[in-house]
């Protein structure tokens, strides 16, 4: 090995080694797109020669040669391309210094000096079709791995006759007739994975038969710190449970004539249950799988059945995400025939533990590749995961030891195993369906089309949108939003809001939005439907987060952030980009100072829907402290009205006095006054408290300016600037 680079990765005349050059933060590979064309990132495909490259030379100087075309990669001064001739300078490979991608590599072009922009980079960020440019060392879009062509499996077994819509699911269900793994898209997680959650554990199902990848998250598994230093970190991918078919019932090649037959997969959003059904080619055996994140027992459950002549032969393993500092996976068997897997680790603040147990009527054994189950007609996987996050503590951790955390996780699993699959499922369905059934929206009938076909039908014509099928899709879409709200917030004991991907994320430390809590619209988009769609309890994880970090006596990072924005400021506010510990990034913080006011409107909305006066008594001091921050940053205009200068209407337009900042800040002042009046003698605020903000309230510019746009009067977004971009991208 030369400075961490294995000698045997380089090809020789005697031994050729081809690799998928795979970027770590996207899992996309470099593909030759043609002579003198830009090399781009694409989804990895089994046996695709244009994605396979050999390194010819040595660590200090090598050429990249494509297996499919025989062309060499070269840098033309702007992008990496391919041609028949070798690059004039060649390339070198190094171990990355990016601490989030330990053990990964970076490829550098030798035509640029050390310290210059010379490292292969997914230009413009992650995504299919990105060109390869050169950038500084250790950029998040540089690190890569070399995946041997021998280590890549086919995406899926051959798929034969498609299945029909299951008859035992509710109308409000998503369903498909092929595995996500057989769709051919580059990002099956983003486009086809079926999400489920219980407010603590999030999981996604792609329905693979060759390999069933159950990817999972835990709501509080975050990197980052509690400081306002720009290190807000990321919401992390915990990893996956991989269930690989080891039987001889199916084949990945057409010649063997053993395809998956009559396949379907679904997500019943009323019951909160996903499923997969398929048969062998001879029709003699049918397989059924059911999945749910238990609404009652803090576990995730996967149930597998085989009915017929074929028994199941499966390998089950844990695959921790590579960026969460995970320890090694331990596999064990028990005297009762069950088998378990576990791993643990620590981020900057939180420690974590996860475990799953396999129970089956088959035979279990373990080896270095995981747990093997043979001769089974049924199998249950019960998984739990937890961190030591505790929002009530100044340190944000509970003080549990690693042993304590392991015991917490084990106890949840053991209790669930004792309860049994049937009871776990029944209890979960009762709780989940009760929440979903609080609202019934019927716009059209039901539909038998797959969800994908239904969407294509809807978009094909305006007439289709008002058909029975089209109207059903709109109702399904509405209920799907409620389903997400439940899945991300059902465990209201966790004082942490869902991030801008809810509680689902399949890649750690990747997206430029950090999978964080964006306070300039995204977290509000997550929660505004909770109360009007009769899910007020699902608002509480966010609201309790506000009450914890906005408490007057807390001196939390939010109070420190307010003083960073304005020296000597009173009260609190939040940044654009945040984590669950109150830590922030540095982006746009001086031009979006009033996002805390938007948070406070959620406290008031919850109160008005529930009329919970005990809640209002807790919320009012927090809202008041935000009003004090507003008082700290206002100035008077020429008319004697208070305004907040140098504000950015979220991600849109010029920096000015904005309707957004004025309206939300005034709204909080108004709600403090109303809340104090409604509570009367029970108000936690005093008359002298109110007097401090009375002049501010009486003379505040409410942000209700009118302008004319396209001949129509409308509320102006800025006090001193006209509307310029009415089609901004944010949608809720």
Query: Are 163 and 262 in contact, with CB atoms under 8 Å apart?
Result: yes
Same domain as 32, residue 141: yes
The per-residue pLDDT for 2 is 43
Query: Does residue 730 form part of some domain?
Result: no
- Find the mean pLDDT for residues 555-567: 95
The whole-angstrom separation of Cα 168 and Cα 420 is: 21
Query: Are 92 and 59 in contact, with CB atoms under 8 Å apart?
Result: yes
The whole-angstrom separation of Cα 476 and Cα 174 is: 8
Q: Tokens standing for 551?
A: 């408490």
pLDDT: which is higher, 677 or 153:
677
> Does residue 555 surpass a pLDDT of 90?
no
Query: Does residue 482 form part of some domain?
Result: no
Q: How far is CA 57 from the centre of its chain?
A: 40
The per-residue pLDDT for 510 is 73
The whole-angstrom separation of Cα 248 and Cα 314 is: 11
- Find the mean pLDDT for residues 476-503: 98
φ/ψ of 417, rounded to 5, equals -60, -40
Torsion angle, CA of 686/621/601/199, rounded to 10 degrees? -150
Percent of the chain with pLDDT strictly greater than 70:
98
Query: Does residue 159 form part of some domain?
Result: no
- Find the mean pLDDT for residues 526-555: 96
Same domain as 29, residue 106: yes
pLDDT: which is higher, 152 or 621:
621
The per-residue pLDDT for 588 is 85
The per-residue pLDDT for 723 is 77
Torsion angle, CA of 227/498/322/121, rounded to 10 degrees? -80
CB proximity list for 212: less than 8 A, separation 6 or greater: 205, 206, 242, 243, 244, 276, 289, 302
Q: Tokens standing for 332?
A: 């064990």
State the CATH number of the domain containing residue 225. Answer: 2.70.98.50
CB proximity list for 232: less than 8 A, separation 6 or greater: 224, 225, 514, 516, 575, 577, 578, 579, 583, 584, 585
Same domain as 182, residue 126: no
Same domain as 260, residue 317: yes
Its sign, for the CA torsion 9, 10, 15, 16, is positive
Query: Does residue 330 form part of some domain?
Result: yes
Q: Tokens standing for 414?
A: 């053991």
Give the model confidence (pLDDT) of 424-454 as tens digits: 999 999 999 999 999 999 998 899 999 999 9
Percent of the chain with pLDDT strictly greater than 90:
86
Q: Residue 207 belongs to what domain range?
A: 173-440
The whole-angstrom separation of Cα 614 and Cα 607 is: 9
The per-residue pLDDT for 729 is 57
Give the model confidence (pLDDT) of 49-81 as tens digits: 999 999 999 999 999 999 999 999 999 999 999
Least confident of 101-110, 418-427, 536-545, 663-672: 101-110
> Does residue 201 surpass a pLDDT of 70?
yes
The per-residue pLDDT for 710 is 86
Same domain as 144, residue 181: no
User: 637 vs 546, 597, 629, 640, 658, CA distance in Å?
Assistant: 31, 21, 18, 5, 14
Query: Does residue 100 form part of some domain?
Result: yes
> Does residue 472 surpass a pLDDT of 70?
yes
Query: Does residue 390 form part of some domain?
Result: yes
The per-residue pLDDT for 159 is 95
Same domain as 701, residue 587: yes
Counting the structural domains of the chain, the total is 3
> Does residue 732 surpass a pLDDT of 50?
no
Query: Does residue 474 form part of some domain?
Result: no
Same domain as 135, residue 185: no
Q: Tokens standing for 485?
A: 């709200």
Same domain as 303, residue 208: yes
Give the model confidence (pLDDT) of 598-633 as tens digits: 999 999 999 999 999 999 999 999 999 999 999 999
Give the model confidence (pLDDT) of 20-30 as tens digits: 999 998 889 99
The per-residue pLDDT for 1 is 39
Of 409, 403, 405, the residue nearest 388 (C-alpha): 405
Instruction: Count Cα atoms within 13 angstroms, Cβ side, for 585.
Output: 18
Give the model confidence (pLDDT) of 648-703 as tens digits: 888 777 889 999 999 999 999 999 999 999 999 999 999 999 999 999 999 999 99
DSSP SS3 for 41:
strand
The per-residue pLDDT for 728 is 65
Same domain as 553, residue 413: no
Least confident of 147-151, 164-168, 460-464: 147-151
State the CATH number of the domain containing residue 65. Answer: 2.80.10.50
Same domain as 355, residue 270: yes
- Find the mean pLDDT for residues 475-489: 98
Same domain as 330, residue 253: yes
User: What is the DSSP code (8-state) at residue 509?
Assistant: T
Give the model confidence (pLDDT) of 107-127 as tens digits: 999 999 999 999 999 999 988
Same domain as 178, residue 92: no
Helix (H) or strand (E) holding 663: helix 659-679
CB proximity list for 730: less than 8 A, separation 6 or greater: 521, 525, 650, 651
Helix (H) or strand (E) holding 266: strand 261-268
- Find the mean pLDDT for residues 277-286: 97
- Find the mean pLDDT for residues 331-351: 97
Query: Does residue 490 form part of some domain?
Result: no
Give the model confidence (pLDDT) of 232-257 as tens digits: 999 999 999 999 999 999 999 876 78
Query: Are 471 and 444 in contact, with CB atoms under 8 Å apart?
Result: yes
State the CATH number of the domain containing residue 536. Answer: 1.50.10.10
């Amino acid at each position: 090995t030369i400075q961490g680079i294995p000698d045997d990765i380089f090809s020789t005349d005697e031994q050729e080694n081809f690799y998928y050059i795979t970027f770590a933060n996207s899992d996309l590979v470099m593909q030759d797109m043609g002579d003198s064309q830009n090399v781009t990132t694409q989804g990895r495909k089994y046996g695709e020669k244009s994605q396979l490259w050999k390194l010819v030379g040595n660590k200090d100087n090598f050429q990249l040669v494509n297996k499919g075309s025989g062309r060499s990669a070269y840098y033309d001064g702007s992008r990496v391309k391919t041609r028949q001739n070798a690059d004039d300078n060649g390339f070198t490979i190094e171990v990355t210094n990016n601490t989030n991608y330990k053990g990964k590599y970076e490829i550098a072009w030798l035509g640029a000096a050390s310290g210059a922009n010379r490292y292969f980079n997914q230009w413009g960020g992650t995504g299919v079709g990105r060109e390869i440019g050169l950038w500084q060392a250790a950029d998040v879009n540089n690190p890569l791995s070399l995946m041997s062509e021998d280590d890549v499996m086919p995406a899926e077994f051959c798929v034969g006759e498609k299945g029909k819509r299951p008859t035992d699911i509710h109308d409000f269900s998503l369903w498909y007739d092929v595995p996500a793994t057989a769709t051919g898209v580059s990002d099956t997680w983003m486009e086809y994975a079926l999400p489920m959650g219980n407010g603590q554990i999030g999981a996604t199902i792609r329905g693979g038969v060759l390999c069933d990848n159950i990817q999972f998250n835990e709501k509080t598994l975050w990197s980052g710190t509690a400081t306002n230093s720009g290190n807000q970190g990321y919401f992390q991918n915990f990893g996956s449970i991989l269930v690989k078919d080891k039987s001889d019932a199916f084949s990945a090649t057409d010649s063997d004539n053993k395809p998956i037959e009559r396949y379907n997969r679904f997500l019943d959003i009323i019951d909160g249950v996903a499923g997969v059904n398929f048969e062998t080619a001879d029709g003699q055996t049918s397989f059924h799988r059911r999945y749910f994140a238990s609404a009652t027992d803090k576990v995730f459950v996967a149930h597998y059945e085989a009915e017929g002549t074929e028994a199941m032969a499966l390998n089950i393993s844990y695959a921790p995400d590579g960026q969460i500092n995970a320890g090694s996976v331990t596999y064990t068997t028990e005297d009762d025939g069950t088998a378990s897997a576990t791993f643990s680790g620590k981020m900057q603040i939180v420690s974590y533990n996860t475990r799953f147990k396999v129970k089956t009527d088959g035979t279990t054994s373990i080896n270095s590749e995981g747990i093997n189950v043979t001769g089974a007609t049924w199998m249950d996987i019960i998984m739990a995961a937890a961190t030591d996050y505790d929002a009530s503590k100044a340190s944000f951790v509970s003080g549990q030891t690693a042993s304590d955390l392991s015991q917490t996780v084990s106890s949840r699993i053991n209790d669930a195993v004792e309860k049994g699959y049937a009871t776990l499922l029944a209890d979960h369905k009762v709780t989940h369906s009760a929440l979903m059934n609080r609202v019934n929206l019927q716009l059209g009938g039901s539909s038998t089309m797959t969800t994908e076909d239904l969407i294509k039908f809807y978009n094909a014509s305006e007439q289709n949108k008002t058909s029975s099928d089209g109207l059903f899709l709109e109702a399904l879409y509405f209920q799907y939003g409620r389903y997400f709200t439940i899945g991300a917030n059902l465990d209201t004991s966790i004082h942490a809001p869902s991030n801008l991907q809810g509680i689902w994320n399949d890649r750690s430390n990747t997206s430029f939005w950090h999978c964080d809590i964006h306070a300039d619209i995204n977290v509000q988009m997550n929660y505004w439907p909770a109360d009007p769609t009769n899910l007020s309890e699902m608002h509480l994880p966010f609201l309790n987060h506000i009450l914890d970090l906005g408490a007057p006596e807390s001196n939390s990072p939010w109070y420190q952030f307010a003083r960073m924005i304005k020296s000597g400021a009173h009260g609190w506010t939040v940044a654009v980009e945040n984590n669950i510990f109150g830590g922030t990034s540095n982006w746009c913080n001086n031009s979006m100072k009033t996002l805390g006011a938007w948070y406070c409107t959620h406290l008031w909305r919850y109160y008005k829907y529930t009329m919970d006066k005990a809640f209002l008594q807790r919320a009012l001091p927090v809202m008041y402290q935000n009003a004090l921050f507003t008082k700290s940053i206002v100035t008077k205009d020429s008319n004697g009205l208070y305004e907040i200068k140098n504000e950015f209407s979220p991600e849109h337009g010029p920096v000015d006095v904005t309707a957004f900042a004025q309206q939300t800040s005034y709204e909080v002042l108004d709600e403090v006054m109303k809340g104090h009046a409604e509570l009367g003698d029970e108000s936690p605020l005093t008359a002298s408290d109110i007097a401090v903000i009375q002049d501010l309230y009486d003379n505040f510019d409410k942000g209700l300016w009118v302008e004319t746009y396209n001949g129509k009067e409308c509320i102006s977004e800025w006090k001193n600037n006209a509307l310029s971009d009415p089609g901004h991208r944010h949608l809720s």
